[in-house]
Amino acid sequence: MQISGAVETTVETRFFHTHSLTPGMSRGSGIIPDESMFNEFKRQCLSTENWVSKYDKNDMVVWVEVAPLSTSTNNKGNLSKVHKIKCRMNIKDVSAATMYDVLHDGLYRKTWDPTMLESLDIARLAPNADVGYYSWICPKPLKNRDVVTLRSWQASENDYVIINFSVKHPNFPPRKDLVRAVSLLTGYLIKPTGPNSCVFTYLSQADPRGSLPKWVVNKASQVLAPKVLRSVHKAGQNYPTWKGANSPDHKPWLYPIQSELAMMDPAELSIQRGDSLENVDESSTRDVQENEDSS
C-alpha cells in the first residue's frame, strides 16, 4: 500500500522543511528523522480528529483521514488525492518487542510475505537509520512495484516506532520492468499493553503510481490493510520459534554494532517526488466503475 502531487508537498513541508539539523549531525544528514518527527508521527497515530472509520471488526479498526471542514471546499477535492490510511490492531498473544523484531527482520520476512519479490538493506545512515529497496508482486495484469526508502526507528519501554519515506538513491534508479511507487510517510507504532500483548498501529500515505484511479487505490487500501495486518500478526506468533533456530542473538536493529552494512553519507540521498517519475499507463488492465463510492 504505497502515494503524490499536492499531498507530497504538504507532507514534505510538515516533516522536512520545518525541522532543522540536529546539533552534531554532518552536513546533509537533516534528511534523517529527528525527535520531533517521531513525535509528530506518534501524534498522528493516536489522533482521532479528522479520521473516519471504514472497518471495525475482530479487534481491528481501519480509518482514512478526511480534510477538516474548515479547509474542505468540495467533495471532488477530497477525491483528488490518495488517502492517508491508519490501521490499529489489538494483539493479545504477541509482545510489542516481538512485533517490532518481525518488522525489522528481513530474513524472516522471506518466510511469511508471499508478495515480496526482493528485499535489500542497502546501507546504514546512522545507528537507527538505513536505506533499503523492496519490490513486490501486484495482481495481474498490473505491473509489479518497487520502492527505495529511508527507514528510521526508535525503541523504548513505552513504545516502538518505525517510519519510512521514499528517497532517490544514485545506484537504484527506477527500473523498466517495475513501477516505482512512492512512500510519502509510512510507519508503525507499537505500544505494549502487557508482557505478551500490544496495540499495533500502521499508518501510511503512499502512492503506487501508474495510472490507477485514485478511488481504486483508496478502496484497495481499505480492503487490503486488514489482510496485511493479520499476516503480520501471524508472523509475530511464529517468530520466536523461527528466530530460536536462526541466529537468535543477531538483532542489528537493537544492537547497531552487529550491523554489517556499509555506512553511507545521507547527503547522497534526496526526497523522491512522485511527479518526477514516469506515469505508467495501466488504464487498459481492468474495467473501472467510475461511479462507485470512493469515500
Residue 119: is its pLDDT beyond 80? yes
Rg (C-alpha) for the chain, rounded Å, is 19
Cis, bond preceding 141 (omega within 30 deg of 0): yes
User: Which residue type occupies 86?
Assistant: K
Residue 38: is its pLDDT beyond 60? yes
Q: Which of 22-31, 90-99, 180-189 has the highest mean pLDDT?
A: 90-99
What percent of the chain clears pLDDT 90, i.e. is strictly above it? 59
Length of the chain: 295
**Each residue of 122-149: pLDDT tens digit?**
999 999 999 999 999 987 777 899 999 9
Confidence of residue 83 (pLDDT cuts 50, 70, 90): confident
Residue 26: is its pLDDT beyond 50? no
**Each residue of 57-79: pLDDT tens digit?**
989 999 988 877 655 445 544 44
The pLDDT value recorded for residue 28 is 44
Q: Residue 218 CB: number of other CB atoms within 10 A?
A: 21
Under 8 Å between Cβ of 164 and 152: yes
End-to-end Cα, the chain, rounded Å = 17
Residue 170: is its pLDDT beyond 80? yes
- In the chain the domains, ranked by start, together with CATH numbers, are 35-65+82-265 (3.30.530.20)
Question: What three-state secondary structure class fits 105?
Answer: coil
Confidence of residue 294 (pLDDT cuts 50, 70, 90): very low
Mean pLDDT of the 257-281 span: 81
Please give the Cα distance from 146 to 272 (Å, whole number). 13
Please give the Cα distance from 110 to 121 (Å, whole number). 13
Which H/E stretch holds residue 67? none
**Each residue of 183-201: pLDDT tens digit?**
999 999 999 999 999 999 9
Tell me the backbone φ, ψ of residue 69, rounded to 5 degrees.
-60, -30
Confidence of residue 15 (pLDDT cuts 50, 70, 90): very low
Under 8 Å between Cβ of 86 and 186: no
Characterize 88-103 residue by residue with b for buried, 16 or more Cβ atoms within 10 angstroms of its Cβ, and e for exposed.
bbebeebbbbbbbbbb
What percent of the chain clears pLDDT 70, i.e. is strictly above it? 74
Distances from the Cα of 201 to the Cαs of 117, 138, 182, 228, in angstroms?
A: 25, 24, 20, 12
**For the residues of 154-167, what is the DSSP string, one character each?**
EE-SS-EEEEEEEE
